[in-house]
Amino acid sequence: MDAAEFRRRGKEMVDLVADYIENIEKRQVYPDVQPGYLRALIPEEAPEEPEMYEDLVRDIERVIMPGVTHWHSPYFYAYFPTANSFPAMLADMLSGAIGCIGFSWAASPACTELETVMLDWLGKMLRLPEEFLAGTEGKGGGVIQGTASEATLVALLAARSRMIKLIQADFPDRPEADIVSKLVAYSSEQAHSSVERAGLIGGVRMRKIPTDDKFAVRGEALRRVLKEDKAAGLIPFYFCATLGTTPSCAFDCIAELGPICNSERIWMHIDAAYAGSAFICPEFRPLLNGVEFADSFNFNPHKWLLVNFDCSTMWVKSRSDIIGAFKMDPLYLKHEHQESGLVTDYRHWQIPLGRRFRSLKMWFVFRLYGVRGLQAYIRKHVKLAKEFESYVRSDQRFEISADVVLGLVCFRLKGSNELNETLLKKINAARRIHLVPCQLAGEFVLRFAVCARTTESRHVQEAWGHVSQLASEALKEVPH
Ligand SMILES: Cc1ncc(COP(=O)(O)O)c(C=O)c1O
């Protein structure tokens, strides 16, 4: 394909994408295919000779679309949202074209510098304490990680390294292996599975802290566990707080937990993967109060801030803690400015070496929506969730299982888990909307997360009508 053909095909592709998004609600949100469906539709081997572009495009509908779960359909209410906007898609095209691998400042200065400034822009939108921003006198700054899971892991590894240094400063002869064998990390029992996984990868003990009746970790619960573990000779070093838990969007009490972590030299990381985007709205910003006690904070603009995957933003108060944990400096990666103190080399902030020019997506989205546009988007989703909540509350057969704070509604039929499992099976088998469940206090609960950019009140009404009708069927079938 030469540049002339690329111009033509590119324009066609933009039309294809715009048609897909504009007409997405006409597609069945969840596919009908069985495992292995795709292998039978394409050849066993790559073609020896080049094929025709038209044939390839035709295969998108034949091979790919039948197996797509349409995350951007206004009938998709599962998991949490994944962002999608036209400005971000255009920026991604440009990022693909520039195609740089921005592991150091010298590897592509614009890639590094735009990222640093975008993280400051976003940090200011969130009213993060100045210490987290790079363009200040402080020692902090931000970085784009691929996912929240990576941010949690990077923070845990940095915390591990910091604690080893702290202990060895007092006891230089204490072997690292001995310290590591005593380290213990903590998170809420409601934390995302990626937190436990970070503990497994980091080779440290991980303990889950029980939550209160709002599914939040309170200071007292952490204090109790710390007392036990310290008495057992363990070394607490890391606490991952969640703001907006995956099951129910609960908020750990970071204003209580932070001071405890600070006084115990425990690294407090905040995982706000979904909820973080909402903090750009002044009315939701109080949920972030206590961030001043954190060592690191992360959320996913690729979930709810219209920046397509992947873009998981992470800020640290002390750059040197994170850089110091992972530094490797082979000759072929060095450059003349690296010790100047004027540049950032993001390879030291992350696990992989390579990194795409992801900040372009933030730049396009922030400039073309403006903070007001982004706030309006968040508010619209929260309003739609409240609308769904009001339908649930108006039906005596149902109950709400957790406070509806942002765009997630946890609800269930009053009755057994079996009844609710039957309802969910019916909903997903009908494939008109798509939901996933969660477990809260031993109960099987349905999660209704407002996800797509194109979701409107009429879709929510329709979704409720559908749920309500299938509830009648489930109630007839299952004794309750
Ligand atoms: C609270 C929380 N943390 C972490 C994650 C994992 O996010 P990622 O896919 O960016 O690793 C999720 C995903 O929904 C989440 O809800």
Q: Is residue 277 part of a domain?
A: yes
Ligand 1 site-directed mutation target among 193, 249, 271, 436, most atoms within 8 Å of CB: 271
pLDDT at 303: 98
| Distance between CA atoms of residues 145 and 327, nearest Å | 17
Name the pTM for this structure: 0.95
Whether 345 has a pLDDT exceeding 90, the answer reads no
- Does 273 sit in the ligand 1 pocket, CB within 6 Å? yes
Residue 189 lies in a domain: yes
Query: Ligand 1 mean position to 216 CA, how many Å?
Result: 17
In a domain, 153, yes or no: yes
Classify residue 165: in a domain, yes or no.
Answer: yes
pLDDT tens by residue, 19-47: 999 999 999 999 999 999 999 999 999 99
Q: Is the Cβ atom of 242 under 6 angstroms away from ligand 1?
A: yes
In the chain, the number of structural domains is 1
Q: What is the CATH number of the domain that holds 161?
A: 3.40.640.10
In a domain, 212, yes or no: yes
Pocket probe mutation, ligand 1, options 149, 190, 314, max atoms within 8 Å of Cβ? 149
How does residue 338 score in pLDDT terms, banded at 50, 70 and 90? confident
For 163-178, how does the pLDDT look when each residue is reduced to its tens digit (9 = 90+)? 999 999 999 999 999 9
| Cα of 249 from ligand 1 centre, angstroms | 12
Q: Is 321 within the bounds of a domain?
A: yes
The closest-lying atom of ligand 1 relative to the alpha carbon of residue 149 is: 11
Is the beta carbon of 190 within 6 A of some atom in ligand 1? no
pLDDT band at 266 (very low <50, low <70, confident <90, very high): very high
The pLDDT of residue 32:
94
Question: Does ligand 1 come within 6 angstroms of the Cβ of 104?
Answer: no
What span, in angstroms and rounded, lies between the C-alpha atoms of 82 and 479? 37
Q: What is the pLDDT of residue 324?
A: 78
Give the distance (Å) from ligand 1 centre to CA of residue 148: 5
Q: pLDDT at position 65, please?
A: 98
**Structural domain boundaries enclosing 219:** 100-356
Residue of 194, 251, 254 to mutate, ligand 1, most atoms within 8 A of C-beta = 194
Report whether residue 148 contacts ligand 1, using a CB cutoff of 6 Å: yes
Mean pLDDT in residue range 324-341: 79
Is residue 405 assigned to a domain? Answer: no
Mean pLDDT of 5-32: 97
In short, whether 147's Cβ falls inside 6 Å of ligand 1 is yes
Q: Is the residue at 474 inside a domain? A: no
Which pLDDT belongs to residue 43? 96
Model confidence pLDDT, tens digit, residues 88-135 = 999 999 999 999 998 889 899 999 999 999 999 999 999 999 999 998
Mean pLDDT for 463-468 is 97
Average pLDDT for 346-354: 88
Our mutation pick for probing the ligand 1 site, out of 79, 245, 246, counting the most ligand atoms within 8 A of Cβ, is 246
| Per-residue confidence band for 479, with pLDDT thresholds at 50, 70 and 90 | confident
